[in-house]
Amino acid sequence: PAKKNKENKMSNLVEEYFEAHSSSKVLTSDRTLQKLRRRRLSQQTLHDLLKKAPLAYAAEIKELNQLHESLFSKWLLQLHLGFNIVLYGLGSKRDLLEKFRTSLLQDSVHLVVNGYFPSITVRSILNSITEEVLDHIGTFRSPLDQLDFITERFKEDSSLELYVLIHNLDSQMLRGERTQQILAQLSSLPSIYLIASVDHINAPLMWDQAKLSLYNWLWYETTTFSPYVEETSYENSLLVQQSGSLALSSLTHVLRSLTLNARGIFRLLAQYQLENKDNPSYPGLSFQDFYQQCREAFLVNSDLTLRAQLTEFRDHKLIRTKRGADGVEYLLIPVDDSTLTDFLEKEDEDV
């Protein structure tokens, strides 16, 4: 009966998958965050607010952590025996690894890699090994060469030992195939000890058999329930103001530093765009029309000045140009309409 149950469950899972993906039509309400009368929080205010909110179940979490900390000496033994350790489970494992580092690795050479840092690359990891640990000055043509060099050195000098701690081995920057290959080869060196943490549910998909055997993982479940503070601070959430698209504050900042005429030009474009916001096929304002309008408003006196102005806008990513089907240049402001409305309202107030 147990087997049958399992089979049932299995087929249920399959059905659930197709159910979820069957209809392309999605039934959700059309409400958007814009209509919610609440300002978007910036990263800073969010941080402050969260500081105020008390962490629930602090005592229990502490207990859990103590449980994990009791394993530290065992980890060390297993690392020395040629295994590498990977931590998984809910909650940030950063503090745990930090504690491991401060309590046991104080005296030995160790390297901490913050995988969640958005601009980390495998080259920077390798560089820090060659430059700081091996005291080698010089560049390498490719990471593979660098890896060869490191392997050579570690094989020659058996007294060299290095602990590598990687927070979030599965982060966006490190999950690439080549990166993982290099890290795996690095970790297979007998005098390099690797402890890493993974969070993503599909993290094990990164490794094929060859890599797994190079990594020689020992899995440890370390569910900590502690919030991912550092890890998510780089994650551009939908609800936080995004650095990728233009925010209202940065828009006003940039425009404040411009001349009056330049501001007028931008305003003109913004107004025109808002007038056409309900038209889905609106391609933007063509350069010729725009030039005409600006001339009429006495904002520019020649084609050249407008172009110079627009280049400036484009450098600040305030506008985007798009070439239409007829070869005419169209101008668009890549900011969502609500922000633009807010901006115009504010401008009116200022004036």
Partner 1 sequence: QQIQEDLNKQLLDNLVSFLRRSHSEFQGKTTEWTCRMKSREIPTAALVLGVNVTDHDLTFRNLSEALQNNVTPYIALLEAKDCPGIKNLMQKLMGQLMNCSTDVVSLEDEDYVQVSQNRIRCSMKSLVDWYDSVTKKTDSETLSKKRTSSSKHQQSPPVVVIFKDMESFTTKVLQDFIVISSQHIHELPLVLIFGIATSPMIIHSLLPHSVSSLLCIELFQSLSCKEHLSTIIDKLLLTSRFPFKLGEKVLQVLINIFLYHDFSVWNFIKGFQLCIVEHFYSEPLSVLCCQLADAKKRVNSLSHDQCENIRRLPSFRSIILNFGNAFKVTMVTVHVQDQETTQKLLEDLHVYHENYVSVLRCLHVFTCSLPKYPLGKQIRELHCACLENRVWETEDYESSLQLARMLNKSDLETMLQQCVEILVSSSGNKFDKAVEKLKEFLTQFQKLEAEAFQEQDVSVSSQKELQKKTDLYHLQKTLLELKDSRRSKKLTKFEMLRFEVVDYIDSLVRNYLVPADHKTLHEIVYFNTASVLRGHLNAAPRIALHTALNNPYSYLKNQALKSDGRSISNKAPDICIVYKLHLECGRLINLVDWLEAFSTVVTAVEGPNADAASSDQVDDIIHARFIRAVSELELLGFIKPSKQKTDHVARLTWGGC
Chain contacts with partner 1 (rule: CB under 8 A) = 12-13, 16-17, 19-21, 26-29, 31-36, 38, 41, 45-46, 49-50, 52-53, 56-57, 60-61, 63-64, 74, 77-78, 81, 83, 88-91, 144, 181, 198-204, 209-210, 212-213, 216, 218-221, 223, 225, 227-228, 231-232, 235, 237-240
Q: C-alpha 266: how far from its chain's center?
A: 31
Least spacing, CB of residue 29 vs partner 1, in Å: 5
Q: How far is the CB of 247 from partner 1 (least distance, A)?
A: 16
Distance spanning both ends of the chain, measured CA to CA? 78
Those residues with Cβ within 8 angstroms of residue 224's Cβ, 6 or more apart along the chain or in another chain:
61, 64, 65, 68, 89, 90, 91, 92, 93, 95, 96
Q: What share of the chain is helix, strand, coil (3-state, %, to 5)?
A: 50, 10, 40
Q: How far is the CB of 230 from partner 1 (least distance, A)?
A: 11
User: Measured from the CB of residue 203, what is the shortest distance to partner 1 in angstroms?
Assistant: 7
Nearer Cβ to partner 1, position 144 or 344?
144
> 196 or 310, CB closer to partner 1?
196
Q: At its nearest, how many Å lie between partner 1 and the CB of residue 210? A: 5
Judged by beta carbon, residue 113 or residue 262, the one nearer partner 1 is 113
Q: Give how far Cα 67 sits from Cα of 55, 60, 103, Å.
A: 19, 11, 15
Are 43 and 241 in contact, with CB atoms under 8 Å apart?
yes
Q: Give whole-number Cα distances, 300 to 39, 237, 316, in Å.
A: 36, 40, 20
Q: What b-and-e string marks burial along 135-166, b requiring 16 or more CB atoms within 10 Å of the CB?
A: eeeeebeebeebbebbeebbeeeeebbbbbbb
Least Å from the CB of residue 237 to partner 1: 4
Residue 60 or 132: the one with the smaller Cβ distance to partner 1 is 60
Least Å from the CB of residue 309 to partner 1: 31
Closer CB to partner 1, 62 or 346, in the complex: 62
- Compute the distance between CA of residue 122 and CA of residue 151 in angstroms, rounded to an integer: 16
Q: Which two tokens stand for residue 234?
A: 């780089």
Q: Alpha carbon of 265 to those of 298, 330, 332: distances in Å?
A: 10, 15, 13
Tokens standing for 53?
Answer: 């909110």
CB atoms within 10 A of CB 332: 15
Q: How far apart are CA 175 and CA 171, in angstroms?
A: 6
Closest CA to 166 of 72, 224, 84, 64: 84
Of 242 and 288, nearer to partner 1 (C-beta) is 242
- State the minimum distance, in angstroms, from the CB of residue 351 to partner 1: 31
Nearer to partner 1 (CB atom), residue 43 or residue 128 = 43
| Residue 139 C-beta: closest distance to partner 1, Å | 15
Q: Which two tokens stand for residue 84?
A: 């590498």
Closer by beta carbon to partner 1, 69 or else 329: 69
- Cβ proximity to partner 1, 51 vs 256, nearer residue: 51
